[in-house]
Amino acid sequence: MAQPSLAELHQLLWRDWNGETTTEESARRQWWAALQVIQEDLSAQLGEARLGKEGVWLAAPLPALYEPNLLQALRGWVWVPERFSPWALNLPLLPGRSTDEVSPWSPLPLQPDDGRDPFLVLATRRLQLAISLRRVADQWEILVRFDGAVVSQALELLSRRLLQEDPRHGLRLREVLEKLGPVTTMDNLGSERRFWSALACRLASLPPSLSVTASPAAAEGLPDQDVLAANGTTTELEFLEALSHGIRTPLATIRVLSRVLSRVLSRRADLGKDVQRQLAQIDAECTAQIDRFGLIFHTAELQRQPEAQRLLSRTDLASLVEEQHSRWQQQLEHHGLQLRLELEQNLPDAMSDPLLLAPMLAGVVERFGQGLRSGTTLHVVLTRAGGKLRLQLRGDRQHNRDEPGETHLGAVLTWEPETGRLHLSRSAIRQLFSSLGGRMAERGAQQLTLFFPLAQDQA
């Protein structure tokens, strides 16, 4: 039996599909917005412990999922072009043995008859779908299918492809699918309604494509800052949202590819540890910048929709702080600082958004540390304070660095001309933290205290 091509998969997915064509730019915006909505839904299920590890995703020509928590929770396979993955042709070196923890998805080689149209087929206990993007003449079209029959047929075709390409991968996929059980249309009805509603909201909130043109005010000789002031902050916030989204996307791809490269090179005895260390640095830097620009995006979004409320969930704050310890220590070492955690035992859960709280706390720790003198130990103390959890940051010395002057760049960002550092403004941090259920109190540059409400049944 001939090996199924991915072109056959696309024919299956697009069969009997009647959709509207649009421009390439619009279709790709819909594609990335759809991937964001899918990952937000899966992350919410993961946070509520409704998403187990019995889930799979298959994609081409590059990874469609990029959130680290999902990559760890689900089993994935990605067909990549040879120019991006020359090692993918060496199938005996592909993942599937004792190093699965390094990268949770497996790279496979695209064949000449597979085509290059992107797709994602996803199956978990609570969500099954297929999404694809293709060119039609000089237009583009995006497809999202939730019907169980098509998703099941797609999974069967990809299973046969894997079995013939490498039986180890095919058998592993079959094993996970057997645990999941049959895909049914009824299970997907609620997911489909939520998806289209969330996608519409996501697209409505995305800023339009930005182009640089001369404004009427500029033609009359007004300074650029006067033009911005005349227009309010809408242009600034749209620019920040577009910029942060545009930066995070390539960084996520770089991070994924570096993890694949790290996994493959780990089996090469002729390469030293310096290569692995440098790849780890690339991974860490990409993660830090993805989180950083993610915070800028969320903060700009909050400025545009100040009344919007985030859904809060039970958060094991003590575990979150412990998990972030090594990352915070690496951040502080750049400034010659040490970190010491002091966590009260048997602390109750708080109410917050752990997915956004982790990168926000990383940003707060780094910014607070930048005000401390080299050689200082930063104490992070988590205790219970009545009906709240209290997280304190304080240095063990009385004299901090002289704070550099800051220039406010609108409502969200501040810039330190002396150091070139760009930060979220204090007011923006306070507002963002409030949207996560907390409250922030500062005592000069010496101490920062964050308060979190307890989960209702533990207050």
Same domain, 317 and 288: no
* Residue 30 belongs to a domain: yes
Going from the C-alpha of 409 to that of each of 131, 378, 405, 413, 415, the distances in angstroms are 39, 29, 13, 5, 7
The whole-angstrom separation of Cα 435 and Cα 377 is 30
Average pLDDT estimate for 34-41: 87
Give the domain-ending residue among 274, 304, 334: 304
pLDDT(185) > 60: no
- For the cut 80, the answer to whether the pLDDT of residue 393 exceeds it is yes
Residue 95 has pLDDT above 70, yes or no: no
**Band of the pLDDT at 318, cuts 50, 70, 90?**
very high
pLDDT of residue 265: 73
Per-residue pLDDT reduced to its tens digit, 139-157: 889 999 998 889 999 999 9
**Residue 214 placed within a domain:** no
The yes-or-no verdict on residue 209 having pLDDT over 80 is: no
Instruction: For 334-376, write each residue's pLDDT tens digit.
Output: 778 999 999 999 999 988 887 778 888 888 888 888 778 888 8
Q: What is the mean pLDDT of residues 285-297?
A: 79
Query: Which of 63-67, 227-231, 376-380, 441-445 holds the top average pLDDT?
Result: 376-380
Note the pLDDT of residue 227. 30
Lowest mean pLDDT among 87-96, 106-115, 330-339: 87-96
User: What pLDDT sits at residue 77?
Assistant: 93
Confidence of residue 289 (pLDDT cuts 50, 70, 90): confident
Q: How many CB atoms lie within 10 A of CB 35?
A: 19
Q: Would residue 11 count as lying in a domain? A: yes
Higher pLDDT, 201 or 195: 195
Q: What is the pLDDT of residue 214?
A: 31
Residue 37 lies in a domain: yes
CB 237, CB 304: distance < 8 Å: yes
1 within a domain of the structure (yes/no):
no
When pLDDT is averaged across residues 209-229 and rounded to a whole number, the result is 33
Q: Which two structure tokens, joined as six digits, stand for 373?
A: 């003198």
Residue type at 38? I
Q: pLDDT band at residue 451, thresholds of 50, 70 and 90?
A: very high
Closest among 10, 7, 25, 40 to 131, alpha carbons compared: 10
Pick the more confident residue, 162 or 369. 162
Residue with tokens 């003449």: 137
Is the same domain home to 246 and 161?
no
pLDDT in tens, 242-283: 666 667 767 777 777 777 777 777 777 666 677 878 888 888
- Asked whether 68 and 252 are in contact (CB, 8 A), the reply is no
pLDDT at position 152: 92
Q: Which amino acid is located at 282 in the chain? A: I
Total count of domains within the chain: 3
Residue 184 is predicted with a pLDDT of 60
Looking at residue 92, its pLDDT comes to: 29
For residues 330 and 239, state if they share a domain: no
**Whether residue 45 has pLDDT greater than 90:** no
Q: Are residues 236 and 182 in the same domain?
A: no
Do 175 and 75 sit in the same domain of this protein? Answer: yes
Cβ count near 156 (within 10 Å): 14
Domain hosting residue 367, numbered range: 313-458
Residue range 13-28, pLDDT digits in tens: 999 888 888 888 788 8
Q: Which residue has the higher pLDDT, 100 or 112?
A: 112
**pLDDT exceeds 80 at position 6:** yes
Q: Choose between 189 and 6: higher pLDDT.
A: 6
Contact in structure between 243 and 277 (CB atoms under 8 Å):
no
Q: Both 167 and 77 in a single domain? A: yes
- The encoded tokens of residue 179 equal 């645990």
Cα 235-238-239 angle, rounded to 5 deg: 85
Task: Answer whether residue 72 shows pLDDT above 50.
Answer: yes
**Residues 260 and 317 placed together within one structural domain of the fold:** no
Question: Are 264 and 201 contained in the same domain?
Answer: no
**Band of the pLDDT at 130, cuts 50, 70, 90?**
very high
Residue pointed to by tokens 């004299």: 399
Peptide bond into 359 cis (omega under 30): no
pLDDT band at residue 98 under the 50/70/90 scheme = very low
Give me the pLDDT at residue 186, please: 47
CATH of the domain at 402: 3.30.565.10
Question: Mean pLDDT throughout 80-109?
Answer: 48
pLDDT at 157: 96
Does 437 have pLDDT greater than 70? yes
Amino acid letter, residue 235: T
- Boundary (domain end) residue, out of 272, 304, 336: 304
Q: Is 179 inside a domain boundary?
A: yes
Q: Is residue 167's pLDDT more than 80?
A: yes
Backbone angles phi, psi at 160, to 5 degrees: -65, -40
* Same domain (yes/no): 187, 247: no
Residue 192 pLDDT greater than 90, yes or no: no
Q: For tokens 């590059």, name the residue.
A: 62
> Do 233 and 173 fall into the same domain?
no
**Same domain as 438, residue 402:** yes
| Residue 211 located in a structural domain | no
DSSP string, 174-214: HHHHHHH----HHHHHHHHHHHHHHHHHHHHHSPPPP----
Examine the fold and report which residue of 271, 304, 337 is the final residue of a domain before the chain moves on. Answer: 304
Residues 298 and 335 in one domain: no
Residue 129 has pLDDT above 90, yes or no: yes
237 within domain boundaries: yes
Average pLDDT over residues 90-119: 61
In Å, what is the CA distance from 329 to each residue of 255, 326, 362, 366, 437? 21, 5, 10, 9, 26
What average pLDDT does the segment 67-81 reach? Answer: 84
pLDDT at 400 over 60: no
